[in-house]
Structure 1
Amino acid sequence: MSTGILGHDPRLPLYQQLREEMLAKIAEGHWLPGAPIPTETELTRLYGVAIGTVRKAVDTLVNEGLLLRSQGRGTFVRRPNFDASLFRFFRQVDAKGQRLVPTSRIIGKQLLAPKAEIAEALSLNREEQAIRLERLRLIEGRPLFHEEIWLPASRFMALLDIDADAFGDLLYPFYESQCGQCVASARETLTVGVADSACAQHLAIGPGAPVVVIQRTAQGYDRKPLEYRVSQAAAEGFRYQIDIS
């Protein structure tokens, strides 16, 4: 009986077996975010399949948002811009109308046994630990977001030995450079809540003041959870805009 492409389930259509193999190349870091993948001709030769099979596998990964075609340049592993999502809802500009870019500050870092809902979000079993980061995102020194970020300790243990000041403003490139973990996709849920005393202190608002809460679960290219994040911001200044046609 055939074992399929490099051991992938032979019951799957050939293009799906190839998709699984290409996805494994990305998840294992053989094909890096932002870098081109082999050409269709090279993939045809490498896996011994027809050009139509290659194109269908590539089309599937493009449609899933994991690959990006660039006319005349090739096909690349897509690197999503997750930070832009927060500013669909919060538009911060200076007196001249120029968009302000937030800075970030890690204010806490711990290794903990996560609560049940955190463990479930990260697909952790009862014995596994998680790293909790606490972060502020600031505009001109003024807190805009308070964030609680949870990471599987098994994948991010290296972060515990890094000084908080070394984290920088963007976490996902930092995860990649320090831990070899690449975030590929995320799902966000937006709700409204009230600030507890700790959050209120960080955001310089009153306890019980309304806050916008953005929960995000981020996944790697292997579709396993890499991060669970709760971002809170004062509801004042919140805006939502969408074009409908």
Structure 2
Amino acid sequence: MSALNMPRADGRLPLYARLRDQLASRIANGEWSPGDMIPSENRLAEEYGVALATMRMGLKQLVDEGLLERRRGTGTFVKQPAFRADLFRFFHVHDVEDPDGPVIPESRILTRQEVDLPPEVKRAFGDDAGTRCLKLERVRLWAGDPLLFEEIFLRLPDFDGLMSLDPKEMGPLLYPVFLQEFGILISSATDELSFGTATSASAKHLALPADSPVAVIERVARNPVGRVIEYRRVHGRPERFRYRVTLGEQPT
């Protein structure tokens, strides 16, 4: 494959950036799955008809972005995604028996239905959004207490089969389900934090009085080529909210 004729490549980008996009597409399309070793730099450079240094620059971008990892003496691999309950970093929860361990909350899916695309979801999904999407409502609990209420919007027809999955077998995290059941890898997400007022649904499921203040998180999640896969709106109990940021270098 000639690099100058790579499909869907934006000719305005530097060649190494176009290579990065094409390699990311092969990950997104499932040609290389998490944990797979990809072909060597030499082989890829030959396949695309580019200089070895150019291919190395394209691969380095994917390594820097966390899509690939280099293993000394072995090769370059598609990085295994670290599925965690990242939204819980905004809330004060910890396991008494393992305070430094990962926070994995309980998850209960309340509803699943096909709906018209809300305007904010259509904006996030972009021009190829279509007119309908799959909407999930879910509550997240910690030690039996409701902490987050989530509205999750997913593309159709990408997730057509999700309606038939048994919620009890889906586990507490959705992204592993996306990968295992639908071959869709979530590689990045942007969370926007604000504060607002509970809706009737979030007040009910968070056991809050009507019109209570809530922490609001809006998430846009993307696959390796930057296509938006999920839009999520989260309401959280405000008394458990926390925000911590470190500025400057840490002492060693």
Mapped to 2, the partners of 1:149 and 1:36 lie a distance apart of 33
Mapped to 2, the partners of 1:79 and 1:153 lie a distance apart of 25
Structure 2 stretches of 5 or more lacking a match? none
Question: Within 5 Å, which residues of 2 pair with 1:91-130?
Answer: 91-95=92-96, 98=99, 101-123=104-126, 127-130=130-133
Q: In structure 2, do the counterparts of structure 1 residues 94 and 172 end up closer, same or farther at CA, with 3 Å as the change threshold?
A: closer
Please tell me whether residue 174 in structure 1 is matched to residue 177 in structure 2: yes
Please tell me whether residue 39 in structure 1 is matched to residue 24 in structure 2: no
- In structure 2, the partner of 1:21 is 22
1:45 Cα shift? 3.5
- In structure 1, the partner of 2:239 is 236
1:12 Cα shift? 4.9
With structure 1 as the length reference, what TM-score do the two structures score? 0.88
With structure 2 as the length reference, what TM-score do the two structures score? 0.86
Structure 1 letter corresponding to 2:244: Q
Mapped to 2, the partners of 1:143 and 1:78 lie a distance apart of 33
SS at match of 1:60: helix
2:156 to 153, 157, 160: 153
Please tell me whether residue 4 in structure 1 is matched to residue 4 in structure 2: yes
1:54-76 per-position Cα deviation (integer Å, ceiling 9, x unaligned): 11111122233432334444333
- In structure 2, the partner of 1:224 is 227
Structure 1 stretches of 5 or more lacking a match? none
Q: In structure 2, do the counterparts of structure 1 residues 82 and 188 end up closer, same or farther at CA, with 3 Å as the change threshold?
A: farther
1:181 Cα shift? 1.3
Q: In structure 2, do the counterparts of structure 1 residues 224 and 59 end up closer, same or farther at CA, with 3 Å as the change threshold?
A: same
Mapped to 2, the partners of 1:192 and 1:81 lie a distance apart of 28
Q: Is the 8 A contact 2:3 2:48 kept in 1?
A: no
Mapped to 1, the partners of 2:20 and 2:96 lie a distance apart of 49
Mapped to 2, the partners of 1:54 and 1:127 lie a distance apart of 36
1:121 Cα shift? 1.6
Structure 2 letter corresponding to 1:212: A
Structure 2 letter corresponding to 1:57: G
- In structure 2, the partner of 1:50 is 51
Q: Is the 8 A contact 1:106 1:164 kept in 2?
A: yes
SS at match of 1:189: strand
Please tell me whether residue 143 in structure 1 is matched to residue 153 in structure 2: no
Higher mean C-alpha deviation, range 42-51 or range 214-223:
42-51
Structure 1 letter corresponding to 2:215: V
1:15-53 per-position Cα deviation (integer Å, ceiling 9, x unaligned): 233223212211211111243322223323333332211
Q: What percentage of aligned pairs have identical amino acids?
A: 40
- In structure 1, the partner of 2:84 is 83
| Aligned-CA RMSD value | 2.4
Q: Is the 8 A contact 2:21 2:225 kept in 1?
A: no
Q: In structure 2, do the counterparts of structure 1 residues 79 and 210 end up closer, same or farther at CA, with 3 Å as the change threshold?
A: farther
Q: In structure 2, do the counterparts of structure 1 residues 199 and 55 end up closer, same or farther at CA, with 3 Å as the change threshold?
A: same
